[in-house]
Amino acid sequence: DVKVTQSSRYLVKRTGEKVFLECVQDMDHENMFWYRQDPGLGLRLIYFSYDVKMKEKGDIPEGYSVSREKKERFSLILESASTNQTSMYLCASRVSGIYNEQFFGPGTRLTVL
Amino acid sequence: AQSVTQLDSQVPVFEEAPVELRCNYSSSVSVYLFWYVQYPNQGLQLLLKYLSGSTLVESINGFEAEFNKSQTSFHLRKPSVHISDTAEYFCAVTSISNFGNEKLTFGTGTRLTIIP
C-alpha cells in the first residue's frame, strides 16, 4: 500500500526558531512536493523536487528552504519561524509525469507562537 | 499561467440529494484536470482525473466529472450523496508540456456537508 508519512501531526514552535518538517515516502517516487493549506486559499506549492538533490521553487518559497539528500525523504525547513507561517503543511509524492496521481501525507499542523 | 476557480466555498446538501461542485479553469494551452478529496483529518487523495478521450470521467464511489472545453469547466457531480461524502473537494489543473514535471495548481476547495 502506498505510504507518505510526515514526522509530526502537530507542532508548536516559537518565533525565530528553526523548524524541520520531514516527509518520507516508500514508493520510490521521483517527484516530491511541499504545500501549505490555509482556509480560503486552498493548497499552495512551496517547493518541489524532481529527483534527489534537485529542487524548484513553487509559488510561495519565501521563508522556506528544502533538502532532498535521499530519494525517499524530502525535508522542509523554516530558517526562522514567523507567526504567518502558522498553517497546515502537506507533503506529496508521485511517479514522474504530470498526469500521474500525487499521493499525500496526513499533514503537519504547525503553530508558531 | 494556469488558474482554477471554485466559486462555492461551502455546499450543504441533504442526504440522498444530488450535488454539483463547480470548477472553472484558465489556461492558454491544453490541460489535464483532477479532483482530489480530503476527508476530515486526512491528506488529499485522488478522486478522478481527465487526461484525454471521453469527456466524462467517473470515480469508483459514484462521482463523475465532465470536461467542457468551450466553457473551461470540470464540474463534479453525484446523483445521490451519502453521509460518508462529507469532505473538502479540490479541483486542480496542470498544463500539458514537454517537461513532464509540471506542477498542479489547486483551487481553493469546496467543503461539502451532508445533512441527514
Contact B43 A42 (CB under 8 A): no
Mean pLDDT of A18-40: 95
Contact A43 B94 (CB under 8 A): no
pLDDT reading at B97 higher than 70? no
Give the whole-angstrom CA distance, residue A76 versus residue B108.
23
Residue numbers in A near B94 (CB within 8 A): 98-99
Partner A, chain B 52-111, Cβ-Cβ below 8 Å: 90, 94, 96-97, 100-104, 106-109
Mean pLDDT of B2-17: 95
Per-residue confidence (pLDDT) for residue B28, from 0 to 100: 79
Contact A98 B101 (CB under 8 A): yes
Residue numbers in B near A43 (CB within 8 A): 44, 90, 106
- The pLDDT tens digits for A46-63 are 999 988 988 999 999 999
Among A43, A96, A106, beta carbon nearest to B106: A43
Mean pLDDT of chain A: 93
pLDDT reading at B104 higher than 90? no
Per-residue confidence (pLDDT) for residue B101, from 0 to 100: 56
Mean pLDDT of chain B: 91
- The pLDDT tens digits for B75-87 are 999 999 999 999 9
Mutate to test the interface with B, among A5, A10, A43 (most CBs of B within 10 A): A43
pLDDT reading at A29 higher than 80? yes
Per-residue confidence (pLDDT) for residue A99, from 0 to 100: 77
Contacts of residue B47, defined as CB under 8 A and 6 or more positions apart, other chains included, come to B34, B35, B36, B37, B59, B63, B76, B89
B43 → chain A, closest CA residue: A106
Alpha-carbon distances, residue A5 vs A78, B20, B89 (angstroms): 19, 32, 22
pLDDT reading at B17 higher than 90? yes
Contacts of residue B62, defined as CB under 8 A and 6 or more positions apart, other chains included, come to B78, B79, B80
